[in-house]
């Protein structure tokens, strides 16, 4: 990582980017991802609210001038719902009164447009450093390259799109995600997976088949797994970032 990259939070910092300008949204998303952040983009406040139903974020970057509810309105709403979420406002309005309005709505910082992407990066790092530490709490998300697994909901996501898992894959993922970086034996998986949909007892072969299927949804190259690994002589292990 370079000096401009995301600060260490114990995981890859997840950014909610809300801007109605598609060009700016895409440029900033690519820039931040190159600098070590995970970015989920929304085109307006309503889109952001839908994303917040299923995803957790470490910081929100909101454009002020948007159709529908503007960034200041969304900022106030987020501050009421998520007391510790860092929020940074972007706006073409750079007057003192505009900055005060944004800060009164709960923003941690306010960056007038146009701005240098490097300055945005530095401002983000500053507000993330000031954010309350997690205090060793169990993470809610496991990062698996471009995918992430929601431990509480038992859901796999790629960007803002859910990845469909079968019932057996969901159970298998929950078992492995409960003990990341620890091998789970085939015997334990057989016992915990119980019986298959057709009522037959799960076998080692059935476990191997389910692992193969799950890898297709987790791995960029299922034949060379990075995240769902085989531990020789023991079983299988989930190895998130």
How does pLDDT run across 116-156, given as a tens digit for each residue?
889 999 989 888 877 665 444 445 788 898 999 988 788 89
**What residues does CATH 3.40.50.2300 cover in the chain?**
14-130
pLDDT at 33 over 60: yes
Run of H or E residues at 131: none
Fold held by 141-238:
Arc Repressor Mutant, subunit A (1.10.10)
DSSP-derived letter for residue 82 is -
Residue 137 pLDDT: 44
Count of beta carbons in the 10 Å neighbourhood of residue 8: 11
Count the helices and strands in the chain (H runs, E runs): 8, 12
Residue range(s) in the chain whose domain bears CATH number 1.10.10.10: 141-238
Q: Give the pTM.
A: 0.53
Rounded to whole angstroms, how far apart are CA atoms 187 and 38? Answer: 36
Most distant CA atoms of the chain, gap in Å: 70
Our CA angle for 28, 29, 31, nearest 5°, is 60
Of residues 4 and 160, more confidently modeled: 160
Interval 163-211: pLDDT, tens: 999 988 988 998 898 888 888 888 888 877 764 443 444 678 888 999 9
- For the chain, the 3-state helix, strand and coil shares in percent, each to the nearest 5, are 35, 20, 40
Cα–Cα distances (Å) from 64 to 49, 58, 89, in that order, read: 16, 19, 6
Alpha-carbon distance 230 to 218, whole Å?
A: 14
Question: Cα angle at 11 between 9 and 17, to 5 degrees?
Answer: 85
Out of 3.55.40.10, 3.40.50.2300, 3.40.50.12780, 3.40.50.300, the CATH code matching 14-130 is: 3.40.50.2300
């Amino acid at each position: 990582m370079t000096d401009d990259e995301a600060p260490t939070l114990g995981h890859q910092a997840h950014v909610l980017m809300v801007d109605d300008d598609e060009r700016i949204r895409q440029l900033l998303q690519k820039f931040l991802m190159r600098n070590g952040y995970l970015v989920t983009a929304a085109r307006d406040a309503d889109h952001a609210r839908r994303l917040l139903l299923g995803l957790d974020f470490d910081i929100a970057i909101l454009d002020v001038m948007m159709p529908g509810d503007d960034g200041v309105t969304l900022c106030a709403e987020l501050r009421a719902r998520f007391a510790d979420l860092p929020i940074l406002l972007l706006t073409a309005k750079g007057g003192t009164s505009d900055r005060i309005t944004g800060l009164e709505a709960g923003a941690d910082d306010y960056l007038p447009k146009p701005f240098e992407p490097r300055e945005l990066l530095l401002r983000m790092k500053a507000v993330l450093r000031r954010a309350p530490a997690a205090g060793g709490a169990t993470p809610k998300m496991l990062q698996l390259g471009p995918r992430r697994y929601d431990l509480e909901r038992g859901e796999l996501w790629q960007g803002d799109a859910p990845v469909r898992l079968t019932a057996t894959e969901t159970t298998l993922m929950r078992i492995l995600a409960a003990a990341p970086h620890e091998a789970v034996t085939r015997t334990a998986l057989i016992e915990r997976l119980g019986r298959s949909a057709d009522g037959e007892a799960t076998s080692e072969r059935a476990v191997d088949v389910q692992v193969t299927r799950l890898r297709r949804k987790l791995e960029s190259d299922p034949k060379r797994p990075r995240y769902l690994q085989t531990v020789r002589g023991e079983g299988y292990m989930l190895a998130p970032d």
